[in-house]
Structure 1
Amino acid sequence: MSSRIREQLLSFFLERQDDFLSGEEISEHLQCSRTAIWKQIEELRKEGYQIEARPKRGYRLIYRPDRVAPEELKPHLSTDRFGQQIRYRQKMSSTQLLAHEWAREEAVEGSLVITEEQVQGRGRLGRTWVSPPHSGIWMSLILRPPIPLIQAPQLTLLTSVALTRALRQETGLEIRIKWPNDLLIHGRKVCGILTETRGEQDQVQYVVLGMGINVNVTASCWPKELKETATSLAIEGNTTYHRPKLIAKILEELEGLYDAYLAHGFEPIRILWEEYAGMLGRQIRTLTPEGPVKGTAVGLDRSGALLIQRGDQVSPVFSAEIDC
């Protein structure tokens, strides 16, 4: 109840950002007591919000910290399901771990776990994902698609398309997809996707879709070994970005493409992926479980496998590391 009042209170402050709001006006708008309002104003102040109070005039919001808490995110949301249920922590080990726990508790599809800082962020193949505080988007989305397990990898490709579309629209940056789960700007990684699936009898039970996006991260935040390979939206765009607005756009794109995928299959996603891919027509080296394979990346097949051309032969690669 208190979190709902806080979300509505902040939303009201944002709607009337230049005005003083009296306690009576806020109480009538939120349908709660003035004592409850005072308590939530004190909680917002503890989170770093500066709220001016003047006798006979009321309260006015004069400063907002950079946060991705529900009260900051929900005013921007336009989705039906994605992000409507949120578990937020200022700091956690990994959004993936909490999302799995929530999914096992029967969280509804579209439930979102999000944090300001991960101390044990996870990437693909057990790698560590560096997640500096208050600078990126570190979140995991729970999906329950009615699809066979064999099709689950297509959700990674769908997510890469949704993220590319959303971030391009919001930043104007030339973001490209690297198969199977990275987004790049000028060849440097700005985003990674981690898709983890649980299933029974060849059907998907749930999917935890993890996304790590370097938004306002500075180069000084990364260890030495990442500074040549990683980048951020802020570095490339030479400006900072409002993270809640980016998240809302990402969830909007994800929900739209996900619903289209369930209705029409993978083919529309495949076409969009090839439009945004930055590796097609280039010579690449893939490190497959059977050994290295060199050739030209020419597209995706209808299942989502990467098609590699060597001479006159075109072969699908289902699982590999790409060394462009």
Structure 2
Amino acid sequence: MESTRNKLIKLLAANQDHYISGQLLSERLNISRNAIWKHMKELEKDGYVVEGKSKKGYRITGFPDKLSENTIQWGLNTRWAGKTIIHKETTPSTQIIAHQAASDGAKHGTVIIADQQTKGRGRMEREWHSAKNKGIWLSIILRPAILPYLAPQLTLLTATVMADVLYKHAFTQSSIKWPNDILINNKKAVGILTEMHAEQDQIQYIVIGIGMNVNQQIDELPEGLQTIATSLQIETNKNWSIKELIQDILLTFEDAYDTFIEKGFSEVKRKWENYGFRMGEYISIKTLREQWGGTFSGIAEDGALIVKTSGGETKKLYSGEIEWFRDGENDVKQTGSETNKCK
């Protein structure tokens, strides 16, 4: 059930250009006018500037910079994504909170957001540096009616969502490095972590974690990452509104997810391959048993990387060590172990 605070925010958002009376708010929300006044005070604590005039009512005239459940939901035009938001100033990891909330029955589309993560992590338990108020650190709880083996498709879908959001904001040089890193000018700006709780034939819930570097300066990135990671600020030399980016991500994600559920994986596959880093190029691969190479020709429905060898054989790769950057193509040679499996 939608909270009274969310209903109040929607009413105020629909009447930004004029006052809405306390009596009308009271009738619409079925609470006392004194309760309305208390809610307004809570909005002011979040940083909103609330103007109240006798015989006229209330309106919002100023908006806060900081994140909160209220500030994110103000102007968020989604149907289900982010209708419930859990915001933390500091937390070890939004994934931890998301798993607990999902176990406690949190609804599909619940979003957990933090200003800072002290133990942010990516795939294979790698650390993700999550500085306070410098990026987007969020997790989304999903309860899809799909079979567990299709869960990797949601990782690929999320990657296309993030690439679309970046493209929309003029980052035309963004690409997806299989399976879930988003690069800007060949440097990592976004990481995605998908974790699942399921039975053999049924998904209980999926948690998708997104980490996005937004307003870091180059010297604010850990020294070991400065040559291989980037942020929106580094690429454009301007600060970005984290709140507006979060709203854009949630709206874009909701549309893409609903299309996926209705029409299947084909559009995700097409879009992913359009953004795919090194698509159509030769890549070198090392697995536990062999070292080989071939042309990166696409992704399979189960999220595997498809490689065509020089001998004409088509292979699927689920995990391995891929040399994405070769000498002469970038200032740094990066070799990373990749896997598309959900945890």
Q: How many residues align?
A: 319
Q: What residue number does 1:210 align with? A: 209
Q: Verify: 1:5 aligned to 2:5, yes or no.
A: yes
Moved more, 203-212 or 44-53: 44-53
**CA 1:119–1:273 in 2, change beyond 3 Å: closer, same or farther?**
same
Q: For residue 57 of structure 1, report the CA deviation from its aligned partner.
A: 9.7
Coordinate RMSD, CA, aligned: 2.9
**Counterparts of 2:24 and 2:166 in 1: how far apart (Å)?**
35
Q: Verify: 1:223 aligned to 2:218, yes or no.
A: no
Q: For residue 143 of structure 1, report the CA deviation from its aligned partner.
A: 1.1
Moved more, 311-320 or 191-200: 311-320
What letter corresponds to residue 274 of structure 2 in structure 1? E
**CA 1:58–1:152 in 2, change beyond 3 Å: closer, same or farther?**
closer
Q: What residue number does 1:28 align with? A: 23
Q: Verify: 1:105 aligned to 2:98, yes or no.
A: no
Q: What residue number does 1:322 align with? A: 322
**CA 1:37–1:206 in 2, change beyond 3 Å: closer, same or farther?**
same
After TM superposition, list the pairs within 5 Å mapping 1:33-182 onto structure 2: 35-37=34-36, 39-49=38-48, 64-182=63-181
**Counterparts of 2:74 and 2:46 in 1: how far apart (Å)?**
18
Q: What residue number does 1:256 align with? A: 255
**Counterparts of 1:93 and 1:71 in 2: how far apart (Å)?**
22
**CA 1:36–1:251 in 2, change beyond 3 Å: closer, same or farther?**
same
**CA 1:81–1:58 in 2, change beyond 3 Å: closer, same or farther?**
closer
- Residue identity over aligned pairs, in percent, reads 37
What letter corresponds to residue 235 of structure 1 in structure 2? I
Q: For residue 221 of structure 1, report the CA deviation from its aligned partner.
A: 2.2
Moved more, 116-125 or 285-294: 285-294
**Counterparts of 2:279 and 2:254 in 1: how far apart (Å)?**
27
Q: Any idea what SS the aligned residue of 1:273 has? A: helix
**CA 1:268–1:55 in 2, change beyond 3 Å: closer, same or farther?**
closer
Q: Any idea what SS the aligned residue of 1:115 has? A: strand
**Counterparts of 1:289 and 1:26 in 2: how far apart (Å)?**
69
Provide structure 1 residue ranges, at least 5 long, that are not aligned to the other structure. Answer: none
**Counterparts of 2:216 and 2:56 in 1: how far apart (Å)?**
39
CA contact (8 A) 1:7 1:71 kept: no
Q: For residue 308 of structure 1, report the CA deviation from its aligned partner.
A: 1.6
CA contact (8 A) 1:195 1:207 kept: yes
**Counterparts of 1:124 and 1:36 in 2: how far apart (Å)?**
46
Q: Any idea what SS the aligned residue of 1:260 has? A: helix
**Counterparts of 1:34 and 1:200 in 2: how far apart (Å)?**
49
CA contact (8 A) 1:121 1:129 kept: yes
CA contact (8 A) 1:182 1:192 kept: yes
- Deviation track 1:179-231 (CA, whole Å, cap 9, x = no partner) reads 00100001100100000011112332211000011122222322110111111
**Counterparts of 1:54 and 1:30 in 2: how far apart (Å)?**
14
**Counterparts of 1:7 and 1:285 in 2: how far apart (Å)?**
54
Q: For residue 243 of structure 1, report the CA deviation from its aligned partner.
A: 2.0
Q: Verify: 1:193 aligned to 2:192, yes or no.
A: yes
**Counterparts of 2:295 and 2:133 in 1: how far apart (Å)?**
40
- Deviation track 1:9-56 (CA, whole Å, cap 9, x = no partner) reads 597389547x8x6xxx55235325565455445544544556688999
Q: Any idea what SS the aligned residue of 2:90 has? A: coil
**CA 1:10–1:38 in 2, change beyond 3 Å: closer, same or farther?**
farther
Q: Which has the higher helix share?
A: 1
**CA 1:194–1:33 in 2, change beyond 3 Å: closer, same or farther?**
same
Q: Verify: 1:268 aligned to 2:263, yes or no.
A: no
